[in-house]
Every structure is written in C-alpha cells, then in structure tokens.
Structure 1
C-alpha cells in the first residue's frame, strides 16, 4: 500500500518531524492520563470498600468472598487474639484488647433481643460468629459479633438505609446481646450489664458487624448509651466517662476493617496480631 507524497515533502522535514513529535508527545500524555485515571478510580473503589464508604456498586467477587469467610479462614484471623487500637480510646489514647472467649459459630436464634432480631430479619442470618475481649486492665469487656447474611447488595443497602434513617442503631431496645463465658472476666456479662454498643450494616459485603461493652465486675447499667453518643466530647454519662463507647466502637471498627481487607485479598492490619485459639 502506498500513499501520495504530502505537500512540502522533502522541503520542510524538520517541521514535519517536530509536528510528529508533538503528536507522539500528546498521545503519550493522553495515555498516561488514561492510566492515571484508571488508577485513581481503582484506588477510590478499593479505598471505599475498606473504609465502608459508598463507592457505587460493590465488587461482586469481593462481595461473594466476604460472605464465605466465616468457614474459609481461621478464627484467629477473624478475631485476632490481641487487637491494638492506636488512638481508639478517649482523648485519642491507645487501646489494647485481649480475646478471652470465642463462641461456637451458630445461627442467630438466641443471639439478639426480639426487636433486633426482627429488624435484621429481612437480610437473613447465614451464620453468626462472636468473640469477647477485655481491655489491658481487665476493667471492661466487649463482645464483637459478625453476622453473615443471606442477602444481596440491594437488600443490604435497604437495611443500612433503614438503620440510618430510623436511627435503629441508637435504640436501647435494639442492643445486641453479649457473649459471656464461664471462668473469664466476662462471666457476669449479661443483658443487664450492657453499657454501650454499635451496629454497622455493611453495604459492600453481606455482613453486619456489632459490638457491645460493659464493666468486667458485672455491675448492671440503668442507662446504656450508644457508642456514637458516648464518644462525643462533653458526654457525661457513666458509659461515656468510662470510655465504654470507645471500647465498642474501636473493636467493631478494627474487626470489620480486617474482614474487608481479607475479602479483597489483603491481610489483617498491622494493628492486629493472631494467636492461638482460646
């Protein structure tokens, strides 16, 4: 295949060469922008998934992977034996939690108060995993739960929207139940000992993460307070003053974050360290 010679062929080669250089330069720049743009989009999606933000439709492979993690990875990875929360305490103080009990994996039949069970019913309960931790001074105990649901992304979005709009995560009649284990600091951690709690409905994974905290000495609590309120500056309730809102929120955040990292092929964060099952 041959083409006619362009006008000025051989007369102004430097101009043509320069023009070709500009075209090649612009093409390379455009390609770089495309690559950079794709990288930013990919980074935004991954970052959104790890932080729980709404970055559009969740990755279906990661969504499906997250739903099956309850039977595919060790308990020490879901609930590390030791969890370190840098800046997780009141005033940005550091926290260290030690796992003292792991509940047998089960359904949700007796794990929730009736109203909370009813609120979660639309997404179904495929499996429930729970572990109880205590702080470094063994003054507080906190149960963290991972409820793996049977729902698709649409149903999880609907549930998350309802919890947000109706503030269901702040109602005292919708508190999760703790897991008490005999012979541990949580032996007396029952329904009346619940002091603060948090519930997080994921929209990018079929999982509901929750945590509920209380005092390790078994004292009952007359006025429990949701973690979102107990963490507020100036809160004067007993759970807030003791930092029990931070206990619940800090553990739930870190367990949930590591679950997401595992689902997208990463590893638990440096703030968590696995150990033998207790």
Structure 2
C-alpha cells in the first residue's frame, strides 16, 4: 500500500501538493542562511584553534613572569655585581656586590607577621632574597622578589591599597633583612633596619622590596621609608648616610633585571 503526497489548498481553495519544490526566493534565502552560519562557525572555530582571546599577549606575559623564580638563573635576577649609575646621594655612582643569596622558599618566618597578613590576599608562591654590600662595605641591603599567587586583578587591588593607605611608609610593615654568618651582613637583623622600599607590580605577580642598614650592626630606633629619606632637606641618620638611596637604587636595578626576562614592560620601574 502506498500513500500519495499530502495535499493543501491554494488561494482559491483548490487542492495542491504540500511537498512541492521551493520557489526561487525561498531557495535563495536558504542558501544565504547556510552560508552565513558557515562563516560564523568558521570564525569562531578559527579563533578557538588560534587561542585568540583579544588580550592573550598581556595574560601570557603575566603568566610567564609568574614562572621566572625557577626558570631564570639566580645571577640574572640577582647579579653578582650591580652598577648604580647616578643612584647615590647627589647622583653619585654606586656599586653593590652580592654577598649572600637565601635559599628560595615560602614566606614563613621571612616576613613580619603583619606584613605577611597584608600580602595574604595575593598569597606567596616563592620568595627570593639576596643581600648586597656597597663598595665601602659599610652599608648592607637585602633585596627581595616575592612571587605571589595573585592574578592581575588581585595585584592591581593590592597596589591600590598600598597607595591609598600608604602601607609602604608604615614602620610596622618593614621587610626583614637576610643575614648570613661570615659576611659583613652577619649582624643585619630586625633592629638594624634603617631604610626600606616596597613596590607592588601589576604587570607581573611580584612584590619587589629592599631594606638597608649599617654593616657594623648599629641599631635604629625608627626606620625611614626610602622615599622620605630621599627628600630634599631630610636630616635623619638613614637619610644623611644615604641608606634611602641604597634601598631604592638596588630595588630599582633588580626590578629592571626581572623585566628583562619577560615581555615588554607596561610600567616604569619603581
């Protein structure tokens, strides 16, 4: 038994087959629809295969920077000798010699508890530290690279908080130095901290800091932020000794060394 084509009715109520051929306009519309869907699907597929997300370059550089702590030799992050042209008082040149490198590790016992709490929102993936002496071996400075677990948004938020609350100037948030026995920094402890600087980067998950003091182990009642010690007319003992220049100059050079190993910088060194 077979069935005929189903019937419908035309404008004059006369029976007509429903399975007839499409008119030219309907065919053209169908072809355009198929072609349009093909173009859209092809574009989406091509973008997905290429990994094109619009801001992939920036995100890739940020991700690359997060891995530098174990992919770049220590001599590139903390050069054995650092030249600081114009970095001293009165734009005098400075030369720093590395005298100790701390084993890389987490932030446990390497930061004061309060500073550790302030940095907690971005976490601590790895902390790298090195201590330098100036050419006269009368000043010592510890510089640190704290690699965080935070993303770009978290680092931006942390930087904004540091600026809004002036956290880099609080004397209860001074980074700890790294001292090693048998070096001129052997007596460089918490009570010897004289000047410091802290910089939160936003194009890399890194906090750069430096803290300086005298190599003879003298204590300091009130450490001074490097920025304040560099101000014209500053007459504190750390300012007069140029320890603000020591901290700021070394932190700046180490930050530059870090940036050489990642994509084009979007920030100026601190």
TM-score using structure 1 length: 0.74
Q: CA deviation at 1:228?
A: 0.5
Is 1:222 the counterpart of 2:221 in the alignment? yes
Moved over 6 A (4+): none
Aligned to 2:171: 172
Give the distance between the partners of 1:198 and 1:250, measured in 2 at CA: 10
Give the distance between the partners of 1:102 and 1:264, measured in 2 at CA: 26
Q: CA deviation at 1:60?
A: 1.3
Is 1:168–1:174's contact at 8 Å kept on the other side of the alignment?
yes
Give the distance between the partners of 2:144 and 2:109, measured in 1 at CA: 13
Q: CA deviation at 1:264?
A: 1.9
Is 1:58–1:153's contact at 8 Å kept on the other side of the alignment?
no
Give the distance between the partners of 1:61 and 1:76, measured in 2 at CA: 24
Is 1:113–1:174's contact at 8 Å kept on the other side of the alignment?
yes
Q: Deviations over 1:134-162 (max 9, x none)?
A: 00000100000000000100000000000
Aligned to 1:51: none
Give the distance between the partners of 2:121 and 2:99, measured in 1 at CA: 32
Q: CA deviation at 1:257?
A: 1.3
Aligned to 1:272: none
Give the distance between the partners of 2:133 and 2:58, measured in 1 at CA: 35
Aligned to 1:252: 251
How many residue pairs get aligned? The number is 211
Q: Secondary structure at the match of 1:108?
A: coil
Q: CA deviation at 1:262?
A: 1.0
Q: Secondary structure at the match of 1:180?
A: coil
Aligned to 2:88: 89
Could you tell me which runs of 5 or more consecutive residues in structure 2 were left unpaired when the two chains were aligned: 1-54, 266-270
Aligned to 2:208: 209
Aligned to 1:121: 120
Aligned to 1:24: none
Closer, same or farther: CA 169–58 of 1 in aligned 2, 3 Å: farther
Q: Deviations over 1:173-231 (max 9, x none)?
A: 00000000000010000000000000000011000000000000000001210001001
Is 1:157 the counterpart of 2:156 in the alignment? yes
Q: Secondary structure at the match of 2:150?
A: coil
Is 1:139–1:217's contact at 8 Å kept on the other side of the alignment?
yes
Q: CA deviation at 1:62?
A: 1.2
Give the distance between the partners of 2:64 and 2:225, measured in 1 at CA: 31
Q: Secondary structure at the match of 1:99?
A: strand
In terms of mean alpha carbon deviation, does 197-206 or 255-264 score higher? 255-264
Q: Deviations over 1:90-141 (max 9, x none)?
A: 1101000000000000000111111100000000000000000000000100
TM-score using structure 2 length: 0.76
Is 1:184 the counterpart of 2:169 in the alignment? no
The RMSD of aligned alpha carbons is: 1.5
Could you tell me which runs of 5 or more consecutive residues in structure 1 were left unpaired when the two chains were aligned: 1-55, 267-278
Give the distance between the partners of 1:265 and 1:77, measured in 2 at CA: 17
Closer, same or farther: CA 182–94 of 1 in aligned 2, 3 Å: same
Higher relative contact order (CA 8 A, sep 6+): 1
Which of these two proteins has the greater Rg computed from alpha carbons? 2
